[in-house]
Amino acid sequence: MTGPTSPLPTTRLLVSVSDAAEARLALAAGAGLIDAKDPRAGALGALDPAVITEIRDAVAGRATVTAVTGDHTTIEAAVAAAERIAATGVDLVKIGFPAALDGAALADALESLARRHRLVAVLFADEEPDFGFIPVLALAGFAGVMLDTAGKSGGLRRHLPDPALAAFVARAHRRGLMAGLAGSLRAEDLPVLAAFGPDLLGMRGGVCEGYDRTRPLDPVRVAEAAGLLAAPAALLAGGVR
Ligand SMILES: O=C[C@H](O)COP(=O)(O)O
Protein backbone atom coordinates (compact mmCIF):
# COMPACT_ATOMS: atom_id res chain seq x y z
CA MET A 1 0.00 0.00 0.00
CA THR A 2 1.35 3.38 -0.83
CA GLY A 3 0.96 6.19 1.63
CA PRO A 4 -0.03 9.73 0.86
CA THR A 5 2.48 11.50 -1.33
CA SER A 6 3.71 14.97 -0.46
CA PRO A 7 2.08 17.64 -2.60
CA LEU A 8 4.09 18.81 -5.58
CA PRO A 9 5.20 22.40 -5.51
CA THR A 10 2.74 24.25 -7.71
CA THR A 11 4.02 26.42 -10.51
CA ARG A 12 1.30 28.52 -12.08
CA LEU A 13 1.21 30.04 -15.54
CA LEU A 14 1.14 33.82 -15.72
CA VAL A 15 -0.08 35.22 -19.04
CA SER A 16 0.31 38.90 -19.89
CA VAL A 17 -2.83 40.39 -21.41
CA SER A 18 -3.56 43.79 -22.91
CA ASP A 19 -7.32 44.01 -22.34
CA ALA A 20 -10.34 42.35 -20.77
CA ALA A 21 -11.06 40.16 -23.83
CA GLU A 22 -7.55 38.69 -23.67
CA ALA A 23 -7.96 38.22 -19.91
CA ARG A 24 -11.11 36.12 -20.47
CA LEU A 25 -9.33 34.09 -23.16
CA ALA A 26 -6.27 33.42 -20.96
CA LEU A 27 -8.46 32.50 -18.01
CA ALA A 28 -10.55 30.08 -20.08
CA ALA A 29 -7.37 28.48 -21.43
CA GLY A 30 -6.08 27.78 -17.93
CA ALA A 31 -3.80 30.65 -16.88
CA GLY A 32 -3.46 30.93 -13.11
CA LEU A 33 -2.33 34.52 -13.09
CA ILE A 34 -3.55 37.25 -15.41
CA ASP A 35 -0.97 39.97 -15.88
CA ALA A 36 -2.13 43.38 -17.14
CA LYS A 37 0.55 44.68 -19.47
CA ASP A 38 0.90 46.63 -22.72
CA PRO A 39 3.30 44.45 -24.76
CA ARG A 40 3.67 47.22 -27.33
CA ALA A 41 5.16 49.56 -24.73
CA GLY A 42 8.30 47.68 -23.75
CA ALA A 43 9.17 44.91 -21.31
CA LEU A 44 6.99 46.30 -18.51
CA GLY A 45 4.65 48.53 -20.51
CA ALA A 46 1.88 49.77 -18.23
CA LEU A 47 -1.76 49.84 -19.23
CA ASP A 48 -4.12 52.68 -18.42
CA PRO A 49 -5.59 52.14 -14.91
CA ALA A 50 -9.09 52.06 -16.44
CA VAL A 51 -8.11 49.09 -18.64
CA ILE A 52 -6.50 47.35 -15.65
CA THR A 53 -9.77 47.78 -13.74
CA GLU A 54 -11.68 46.21 -16.68
CA ILE A 55 -9.24 43.27 -16.63
CA ARG A 56 -9.64 42.86 -12.87
CA ASP A 57 -13.43 42.93 -13.22
CA ALA A 58 -13.35 40.40 -16.10
CA VAL A 59 -11.29 37.99 -13.98
CA ALA A 60 -13.64 38.53 -11.03
CA GLY A 61 -11.53 36.66 -8.49
CA ARG A 62 -11.11 33.50 -10.58
CA ALA A 63 -7.34 34.01 -10.90
CA THR A 64 -4.67 36.21 -9.39
CA VAL A 65 -4.43 39.54 -11.20
CA THR A 66 -1.08 41.26 -11.53
CA ALA A 67 -0.19 44.53 -13.25
CA VAL A 68 3.07 46.11 -14.28
CA THR A 69 3.94 49.72 -13.60
CA GLY A 70 5.96 50.69 -16.68
CA ASP A 71 9.60 51.38 -17.48
CA HIS A 72 10.87 54.43 -15.59
CA THR A 73 14.13 56.34 -15.46
CA THR A 74 13.74 57.95 -12.03
CA ILE A 75 12.82 56.57 -8.62
CA GLU A 76 10.17 59.27 -8.17
CA ALA A 77 8.43 58.24 -11.41
CA ALA A 78 8.67 54.54 -10.56
CA VAL A 79 7.13 55.06 -7.11
CA ALA A 80 4.36 57.33 -8.42
CA ALA A 81 3.48 54.75 -11.09
CA ALA A 82 3.47 51.94 -8.52
CA GLU A 83 1.06 53.91 -6.30
CA ARG A 84 -1.20 54.59 -9.31
CA ILE A 85 -1.32 50.94 -10.40
CA ALA A 86 -1.75 49.65 -6.84
CA ALA A 87 -4.84 51.86 -6.51
CA THR A 88 -6.59 49.72 -9.16
CA GLY A 89 -6.85 46.96 -6.55
CA VAL A 90 -4.95 44.23 -8.42
CA ASP A 91 -3.58 41.39 -6.29
CA LEU A 92 0.09 41.93 -7.12
CA VAL A 93 1.94 44.98 -8.47
CA LYS A 94 5.04 44.18 -10.55
CA ILE A 95 7.73 46.86 -10.40
CA GLY A 96 10.80 46.93 -12.61
CA PHE A 97 14.26 47.25 -11.04
CA PRO A 98 16.38 48.14 -14.10
CA ALA A 99 20.15 48.35 -13.72
CA ALA A 100 19.98 52.08 -14.47
CA LEU A 101 18.14 52.75 -11.18
CA ASP A 102 19.62 52.46 -7.68
CA GLY A 103 17.81 49.29 -6.56
CA ALA A 104 18.36 49.79 -2.82
CA ALA A 105 17.02 53.35 -3.01
CA LEU A 106 13.98 52.20 -5.02
CA ALA A 107 13.24 49.37 -2.57
CA ASP A 108 13.54 51.86 0.28
CA ALA A 109 11.20 54.32 -1.45
CA LEU A 110 8.62 51.55 -1.90
CA GLU A 111 8.59 50.39 1.74
CA SER A 112 5.46 52.35 2.57
CA LEU A 113 3.54 50.96 -0.43
CA ALA A 114 4.77 47.45 0.40
CA ARG A 115 2.95 47.69 3.73
CA ARG A 116 -0.34 48.36 1.91
CA HIS A 117 -0.05 46.24 -1.25
CA ARG A 118 1.66 43.05 -2.36
CA LEU A 119 4.63 44.04 -4.51
CA VAL A 120 6.79 41.94 -6.82
CA ALA A 121 10.19 43.23 -7.94
CA VAL A 122 11.19 42.43 -11.51
CA LEU A 123 14.93 42.02 -12.10
CA PHE A 124 16.28 41.72 -15.61
CA ALA A 125 18.29 38.67 -16.60
CA ASP A 126 19.98 40.56 -19.44
CA GLU A 127 21.29 43.28 -17.07
CA GLU A 128 23.52 41.11 -14.87
CA PRO A 129 21.17 41.05 -11.85
CA ASP A 130 22.71 40.72 -8.41
CA PHE A 131 20.90 37.98 -6.48
CA GLY A 132 22.45 39.44 -3.34
CA PHE A 133 19.71 42.06 -3.71
CA ILE A 134 16.98 39.55 -2.80
CA PRO A 135 17.40 40.02 1.00
CA VAL A 136 17.03 43.78 0.52
CA LEU A 137 13.65 43.19 -1.14
CA ALA A 138 12.57 40.88 1.67
CA LEU A 139 13.49 43.48 4.29
CA ALA A 140 11.57 46.16 2.36
CA GLY A 141 8.43 44.03 2.62
CA PHE A 142 8.14 42.75 -0.94
CA ALA A 143 5.94 39.72 -1.56
CA GLY A 144 7.96 38.35 -4.45
CA VAL A 145 10.71 38.70 -7.00
CA MET A 146 10.84 37.77 -10.67
CA LEU A 147 13.40 37.50 -13.39
CA ASP A 148 12.39 38.74 -16.84
CA THR A 149 14.31 40.12 -19.81
CA ALA A 150 14.42 43.82 -20.68
CA GLY A 151 15.24 43.18 -24.32
CA LYS A 152 13.06 40.65 -26.09
CA SER A 153 15.59 39.43 -28.64
CA GLY A 154 16.85 36.49 -26.56
CA GLY A 155 15.11 34.29 -24.01
CA LEU A 156 15.74 34.07 -20.28
CA ARG A 157 17.78 30.88 -20.58
CA ARG A 158 20.10 32.52 -23.11
CA HIS A 159 21.06 35.12 -20.54
CA LEU A 160 21.35 32.99 -17.42
CA PRO A 161 22.23 29.29 -17.17
CA ASP A 162 19.73 26.90 -15.64
CA PRO A 163 21.72 26.42 -12.39
CA ALA A 164 21.63 30.20 -11.83
CA LEU A 165 17.85 30.22 -12.38
CA ALA A 166 17.43 27.37 -9.89
CA ALA A 167 19.62 29.25 -7.41
CA PHE A 168 17.51 32.40 -7.90
CA VAL A 169 14.30 30.51 -7.04
CA ALA A 170 15.87 28.84 -4.01
CA ARG A 171 17.30 32.11 -2.74
CA ALA A 172 13.95 33.92 -3.07
CA HIS A 173 12.16 31.10 -1.24
CA ARG A 174 14.73 31.09 1.56
CA ARG A 175 13.82 34.74 2.15
CA GLY A 176 10.10 33.98 2.10
CA LEU A 177 9.53 35.59 -1.29
CA MET A 178 7.42 34.25 -4.12
CA ALA A 179 9.67 33.51 -7.13
CA GLY A 180 8.86 33.93 -10.82
CA LEU A 181 10.66 33.39 -14.10
CA ALA A 182 9.85 34.93 -17.50
CA GLY A 183 11.51 36.22 -20.64
CA SER A 184 10.51 34.94 -24.09
CA LEU A 185 9.75 31.49 -22.67
CA ARG A 186 8.48 28.78 -25.01
CA ALA A 187 6.50 25.64 -24.14
CA GLU A 188 9.68 23.55 -24.17
CA ASP A 189 11.19 25.72 -21.41
CA LEU A 190 8.33 25.11 -18.98
CA PRO A 191 9.11 21.56 -17.80
CA VAL A 192 12.76 22.45 -17.23
CA LEU A 193 12.00 25.63 -15.31
CA ALA A 194 9.06 24.15 -13.36
CA ALA A 195 11.49 21.59 -11.93
CA PHE A 196 13.20 24.48 -10.08
CA GLY A 197 9.95 25.07 -8.15
CA PRO A 198 9.10 28.70 -9.03
CA ASP A 199 5.67 29.95 -8.01
CA LEU A 200 5.01 31.24 -11.50
CA LEU A 201 6.29 31.12 -15.04
CA GLY A 202 5.35 34.15 -17.14
CA MET A 203 4.63 34.20 -20.85
CA ARG A 204 3.51 36.56 -23.57
CA GLY A 205 5.35 36.09 -26.88
CA GLY A 206 5.43 32.30 -26.52
CA VAL A 207 1.62 32.14 -26.35
CA CYS A 208 0.87 34.69 -29.08
CA GLU A 209 0.10 34.24 -32.76
CA GLY A 210 3.39 33.93 -34.66
CA TYR A 211 5.27 34.00 -31.31
CA ASP A 212 5.02 37.79 -31.61
CA ARG A 213 4.24 39.41 -28.23
CA THR A 214 2.54 42.37 -29.94
CA ARG A 215 0.02 40.10 -31.70
CA PRO A 216 -3.10 38.52 -30.15
CA LEU A 217 -2.95 35.60 -27.75
CA ASP A 218 -3.27 32.15 -29.30
CA PRO A 219 -5.70 30.17 -27.11
CA VAL A 220 -4.20 26.84 -28.21
CA ARG A 221 -0.72 27.92 -27.10
CA VAL A 222 -2.03 29.23 -23.76
CA ALA A 223 -3.87 25.95 -23.14
CA GLU A 224 -0.77 23.93 -24.06
CA ALA A 225 1.38 25.94 -21.63
CA ALA A 226 -1.18 25.71 -18.83
CA GLY A 227 -1.57 21.98 -19.47
CA LEU A 228 2.17 21.45 -19.21
CA LEU A 229 2.25 23.02 -15.76
CA ALA A 230 -0.76 21.01 -14.67
CA ALA A 231 0.89 17.74 -15.78
CA PRO A 232 2.10 15.22 -13.22
CA ALA A 233 5.75 15.47 -12.20
CA ALA A 234 6.76 12.42 -14.24
CA LEU A 235 5.54 14.06 -17.43
CA LEU A 236 7.17 17.36 -16.53
CA ALA A 237 10.47 15.60 -15.97
CA GLY A 238 10.13 13.94 -19.37
CA GLY A 239 9.79 17.27 -21.13
CA VAL A 240 7.59 18.24 -24.05
CA ARG A 241 6.80 15.51 -26.53
O1 LIG B 1 5.65 38.68 -17.32
C2 LIG B 1 5.70 38.00 -18.34
C3 LIG B 1 6.04 38.64 -19.61
O4 LIG B 1 4.97 39.37 -20.14
C5 LIG B 1 6.70 37.75 -20.56
O6 LIG B 1 6.74 38.30 -21.84
P7 LIG B 1 7.54 37.52 -22.97
O8 LIG B 1 7.17 36.07 -22.83
O9 LIG B 1 7.07 38.11 -24.27
O10 LIG B 1 8.98 37.77 -22.70
Ligand 1: residue whose CA is nearest its atom 1: 202
Tell me the mean pLDDT in the region 51-79. Answer: 97
Sign of dihedral through CA atoms 34, 93, 184, 174?
negative
Neighbours of 77 (CB within 10 A): 14
pLDDT at 7 over 80: no
Ligand 1 center to 74 CA (angstroms):
23
185 touches ligand 1 (CB under 6 Å): yes
Residue 104's pLDDT band (cuts 50, 70, 90): very high
CB 155 within 8 A of CB 189: yes
Distance CA 177, CA 147 (A): 13
204 touches ligand 1 (CB under 6 Å): yes
The distance of Cα 187 from the centroid of its chain, to the nearest Å, equals 16
Query: How high is the pLDDT of residue 1?
Result: 33
Residue 237's pLDDT band (cuts 50, 70, 90): low
Ligand 1 center to 203 CA (angstroms):
4
What are the residue boundaries of the structural domains of the chain, listed by start? Answer: 12-231
What three-state secondary structure class fits 207?
Answer: helix
Note the pLDDT tens digit of each residue in 189-224. 999 999 999 999 999 999 999 999 999 999 999 999
Distance CA 12, CA 82 (A): 24
Ligand 1 center to 237 CA (angstroms):
23
- The CA distances from residue 138 to 68, 113, 156, 172, 183, in Å, are 19, 14, 23, 9, 23
Tell me the mean pLDDT in the region 18-45. Answer: 96
Return the closest-CA partner of residue 217 out of 60, 18, 66: 18
Q: Please give the CATH architecture assigned to the domain spanning 12-231.
A: Alpha-Beta Barrel (3.20)
CB 98 within 8 A of CB 128: no
- Catalytic residue check, 152: no
Give the 3-state secondary structure percentages of the chain, helix then strand then coil, rounded to 5.
Answer: 45, 15, 40
Query: How high is the pLDDT of residue 132?
Result: 94
Q: List Cβ neighbours of 82 (8 Å cut-off, separation of 6 or more).
A: 69, 93, 95, 110, 113, 119
pLDDT at 232 over 70: no
Residue 236's pLDDT band (cuts 50, 70, 90): low
pTM summary value: 0.93
